[in-house]
Amino acid sequence: MMAHNSMHRYAKAVRIKPEMIAEYKRLHTKVWHDVTDALSQAGISNYSIFVVDDLAFEYLEYSGEDFENDMGIFSSHPEIIRWEEVCDKCCLLPITNNPDFELWTSMEEVFHLD
């Protein structure tokens, strides 16, 4: 998706292994500085993760110019790769049974109020 000087909102969800919920929350009390720097440099802001029971929901805003390219950079960023490996051990499956979805399932925005 191309965005020219505009902000786009993205949301995703995933299920956390019940025995790993506390660990997942603990990890996110001290997100690595290299990870937060990389996110900011990629045009991501207002990034939050919410947890209820075994459901994790992420929300972020993107103000860069090429979301796919900027997110693709993370696939070669050593600290992002290491962080995702640590966090993904806490996750179960996407919230949908569709085998084509990745671990984190993108959500459709159906309402927004500024």
Q: Please give the mean pLDDT across all residues of the chain.
A: 88
Give the DSSP H or E segment for 97.
none
Residue 9: pLDDT band with limits 50, 70, 90: very high
Higher pLDDT, residue 71 or 21:
21
Reference 11, options 53, 60, 56, 54; nearest CA is 60
pTM of the model: 0.82
Structural domains of the chain, ranges and CATH numbers in brackets? 8-106 (3.30.70.1090)
> If you ran DSSP here, which 8-state letter would residue 30 be given?
S
Residue 97 has pLDDT above 80, yes or no: no
Quick: pLDDT tens for 50-96. Answer: 999 999 999 999 998 899 999 888 889 999 999 999 999 998 766 77
Does residue 35 contact residue 82 with C-beta atoms inside 8 Å? Answer: no
| Cα Rg of the chain, angstroms | 14
